[in-house]
Structure formats: structure tokens, C-alpha cells
Structure 1
């Protein structure tokens, strides 16, 4: 069985909006609905788990009714951090033989072929994390305040989905939260698992700022 935990805990502060960013409209639908629909288009049999802050659940149900959005998702209460939200989502998945993708609710443009590849690679190897190469030069800031050039070919920008064999990631999340856990891959890595990267997509942006939203509106037309 294939699962996806969609984490949607944004408040809209960086968007400078009173509306949580996942509920802002792009092309006539809230961003979160576009994200859910991408995974449903990949497979109508995928089990969708949606982690939302408790105070946003009623809003989500109202939006589903307003937009006649019928794709089913099991709702779980999100925590104060991403780690807690993902952990809550994993707790409702009892199938230890499956594969689960973890995806940002505000990445609505993830290509279906990236989703497909993530499940295939994770099923065979344990993990599959979407990533893209850097386009710009980068420099490392040293402890004394100086900087030095580094080879951008040695680095990747990490996206979601981050996909894992269910038994592997559920076990990895059985630890106390750490500030070192910057994403789901870092949790799995801390548990001793090798992280495999797959080719992501530059269109698979995370919509967090007004500039991101403008870009999303532009490419959706």
C-alpha cells in the first residue's frame, strides 16, 4: 500500500496574509487542494493523510464544501513542529509493509513522474528524497566571519516528497525531537539509514512568500 502524509501547518506570516498560505487560491482552488490532487492523479488508490493545526480543521472542512472537493484524506492534528506533525501522521498508518511519502502542503506543482519515481526507489531501496542541483555559485560562511568558495556540484537543494519504507520511517520517528531534525530525511539518517536522492524538479517550489504566490499564479495561467 502507498501512503502520503501531507503536512500543512503554515500560518501565512511570511506571506503577510491573515489566511494560512495553504488556503490561498491559485487558479481557482486553495493551494492545498492542488497538492492533494497531484497525489490522487498519481494513484486513486493512495491513502492520503493530512496533518493540519487543530484550529484550521474546521476551515478546511468548510473549504471542501465550498469547492465541492471530494478527494478523501484522513485528518490528523498537526503538532507545533514538522517533526510532531509527521509523527502524528505516521501513528495512523498501521501497515508496516507499505511505502509512505511525506510532502509539503504548499508544494502544489510536484510533477507526477517525481511522485512515481519516489515510490519506486523507496520501495526498492528504503528511501527516496527529491533534490535538485544548485544553479548559482555558493560560499561557506566560516566561524570567523570570512567566507570561502565551495563547489556547488557537491550540494543539492532538498525538496519533497521524501519517501520511505513505512517500517523504516515509523521506527526512526520513535525518538525524542532534536533541533538537528531539519526534515524527514535527517530523522531517518539519524536512525542509521542511508538517504538516496532522486531527481526533483525546479517547478516543485514551496510557496511561502508573496513572490512565490505571484510565480504560482503566473505559471498556472
Structure 2
């Protein structure tokens, strides 16, 4: 079991503002909420324990509303005391590992969390860090005393990971002393601390300028394009279903679901744009539960995946290839239905039809085919971008 402790009990005096920095707005949500979500959505984190200041209870509960986190613990006068309070609160059901992270580091990535957890398989304490690239000097207040060798120096970051029983014991043993991070507490108690590579973007917000500069990075929008293609043959029946609209015809399309080739192609196009495989992966034709089901279910599922991926469908284009039936009389209804399912304006949906001039299987009226293109606007995940 691994518990992530998120430290949000500081006052952030250098930051200024009407509220402590961990409750400052960043793209519509408080920083602490962004941090807690990063851990609650990580597959190797079993629980998240926020630590807050006594005076912040009201704003904290509002900021953390509806998140799958433990009830916040009240912190102490110093960071060290807050960590100890959190660790002590877990003694009833002690986890094997804990990660301790600053709420003022909102740009934590899933891959960094994974690196720290993986290191704990062989280590009792681990810290993410970055090499020091600047020349570091020590001084006496007036003059430089010496130059430190930077090849053995690291900028320490969080989350710092520990075996729970070891870091709890360390905090109990060093009461009265002041340490600036939990690795220092571990070192003071005799624990050997390993390190893994940190990340440049994992900065600690100290001043408002730190937040403003990173807002620009989070404003990055990229556009992804996916393509889909589907074919169904004609069989006995009196109608076909295309884009969810029932169209009278001398034949019906044969398929496991409702054989809506246009909607299947569009579903694949959307899945392709966000890198989520294809329709058969989620809705295999061998599964009886999808027998005769409306393809609206498939398209809506793909649209929901877009939202979960922090994206938005901006435009879709569908081409239906057949000799019959005629598509134009039903085009408006088809466009409106697709727009409704995707929750976008109908002007962002284009549907057209063509023939193969009596060539091929569609020309012989043996079936029809559809192809689709979907354009998705996405804000990249932190792990998708490299420095």
C-alpha cells in the first residue's frame, strides 16, 4: 500500500495574495486540487492524505470537494511538524510506503511519481533531484568563502518516497531539530537516501511570477487528426442505419451491432486521434452484449475518452460511398444527430456522399463503405512533452 501525503499547511508569506498560494487559481482550479488529482489518478497510489492549516479548513474542503482523498489532517507550526502529524494519523492502518509532496509543486507528472515508487522496491528512502548547473558559492554574509563542486550537488524536489515505518521512526527521533525536507530527517536518523532523476517543470511555486510563467506553458493546445474506415455488406431488410438515422432501403446492412458504418468509421477516427486504439478493442464483435446495440453507444464512449484526455472534438468529416440509398435527403438529420452525440455545434460536422461510378462492390450494390476524419484539440499531458 502506498499513501501520498500532500503538504498544504503553509502560509506562503512570500507569495502574497488573499489566500495561501496552494489555493491560488490555476486554469480554473486551486493548485492543491491539481496536485491531489495527480496522485488520486495514479494507478500505484492507494490513498491521498492532504495536510492543511487549521485556519484554512473551509477553503480547503471546498478546494478538495468530490476528490477521492482522505480527510485532511491539520498541520503543525513547521513543515516537519505537519509531516509528523500526517504520518501519525496513518498508524491505525500503516501503509508500506509513503510519498511526501509539496502542494506548491503543481506540475508533478505521473512518470516522476512512478520513478519514485519503483525505486522504493529496493530503497528505504528516495528523493528526485536535478543536477546543479550554476556555480555555487558559500559566503559569510559579506564575502565569498569558497566555491562548491557542483558535480556532487542536486536540487532536491518532491515527491520524496519512504518506507513508512522508517520515516515515521525518523520523525519521532529528531523532534526539536529543524529540517527543510524529509530526506534531511531521514539522513539525520541514519537512513541512506537514494535519488532518481527529477524534472525541470516540477518547480515549487514561491512567487506569483512562477505561476504566471507556467500558465503560458499550460496554454499549449495541439491539434490531432484521426482517420476511420468501415465497410458493411447488404442483406435482407428494409432500411439501413447511418449516423444513427434510419433510412428506408431495399436492403439492410449486416453487422453485429446496428451496422452503422458511418458512425463506426467516425468512432475509429476519434479513437485514432487520441491514440486509444480502435472500436473493436472496446466493443469486440465476439461479445454478445453488443449484439444489435445502437452505435451511438460506441461514439459516445469515444467522445468521453476525448474529454478524459483533456481534449475537445473540433470538427468531423464523414464520407459515405454507395450507389444507394440516397444520402442527401437525410443529411441534415444525420448532421444534427452526430453533433448532439459529440456535444458540438452542427457547423462542425460535415457529411457527404459519393459513388464509385458503378465500380467495385459498392457499384454493384453489394454494400457500402464510410470513411471519417476527426480533428481534436488537446492540451498535452505533462508526460507527452519533453523538455
Structure 1 equivalent of residue 4 of structure 2: 4
Query: How do 1:152-171 and structure 2 match up within 5 A?
Result: 152-171=150-169
SS in 2 for 1:164: strand
Structure 2 equivalent of residue 89 of structure 1: 86
Do residues 172 (structure 1) and 170 (structure 2) align?
yes
State which drifts further: 22-31 or 170-179: 170-179
In structure 1, how many angstroms separate the alpha carbons of the residues matched to 2:46 and 2:193?
23
Which has the bigger relative contact order, CA under 8 A and spacing at least 6? 1
- Post-superposition Cα deviations, 1:6-45, rounded to whole Å, max 9, x if no partner, equal 1112324211212110011111110001101111222275
In structure 1, how many angstroms separate the alpha carbons of the residues matched to 2:45 and 2:112?
17
**Kept in 2: contact 1:123–1:165 (CA 8 A):** no
SS in 2 for 1:124: coil
Structure 2 equivalent of residue 71 of structure 1: 68
Shift of 1:48: 0.9
Instruction: Quickly say closer, same or farther: Cα 1:18–1:28, change in 2 above 3 A.
Output: same
Instruction: Quickly say closer, same or farther: Cα 1:48–1:162, change in 2 above 3 A.
Output: same
Query: How do 1:32-71 and structure 2 match up within 5 A?
Result: 32-43=32-43, 45-65=45-65, 69-71=66-68
SS in 1 for 2:158: strand
Instruction: Quickly say closer, same or farther: Cα 1:140–1:75, change in 2 above 3 A.
Output: same
**Kept in 2: contact 1:159–1:200 (CA 8 A):** yes
**Consecutive unaligned residues in structure 2, runs of 5 or more:** 220-387
**Kept in 1: contact 2:76–2:82 (CA 8 A):** yes
**Kept in 1: contact 2:51–2:74 (CA 8 A):** yes
- Post-superposition Cα deviations, 1:61-112, rounded to whole Å, max 9, x if no partner, equal 23344xxx43323211110101110000001213445100000011111111
**Kept in 1: contact 2:107–2:202 (CA 8 A):** yes
State the structure with more CA Rg.
2
Instruction: Quickly say closer, same or farther: Cα 1:145–1:22, change in 2 above 3 A.
Output: same
State which drifts further: 56-65 or 113-122: 56-65
Structure 1 equivalent of residue 300 of structure 2: none
Provide the TM-score with structure 1 as the length reference.
0.91
Instruction: Quickly say closer, same or farther: Cα 1:206–1:166, change in 2 above 3 A.
Output: same
Shift of 1:143: 7.8
Count of aligned residue pairs for this structure pair? 217
Structure 2 equivalent of residue 20 of structure 1: 20
**Kept in 1: contact 2:137–2:144 (CA 8 A):** no
**Kept in 2: contact 1:109–1:203 (CA 8 A):** yes
- Which of 179, 182, 185 matches 2:180? 182
Shift of 1:218: 1.5
**Consecutive unaligned residues in structure 1, runs of 5 or more:** none
**Kept in 2: contact 1:83–1:177 (CA 8 A):** no
In structure 2, how many angstroms separate the alpha carbons of the residues matched to 1:157 and 1:89?
25
State which drifts further: 70-79 or 102-111: 70-79
Instruction: Quickly say closer, same or farther: Cα 1:24–1:133, change in 2 above 3 A.
Output: same
In structure 1, how many angstroms separate the alpha carbons of the residues matched to 2:110 and 2:142?
45
In structure 1, how many angstroms separate the alpha carbons of the residues matched to 2:144 and 2:157?
29
Structure 1 equivalent of residue 31 of structure 2: 31
Provide the TM-score with structure 2 as the length reference.
0.53
In structure 1, how many angstroms separate the alpha carbons of the residues matched to 2:63 and 2:189?
38
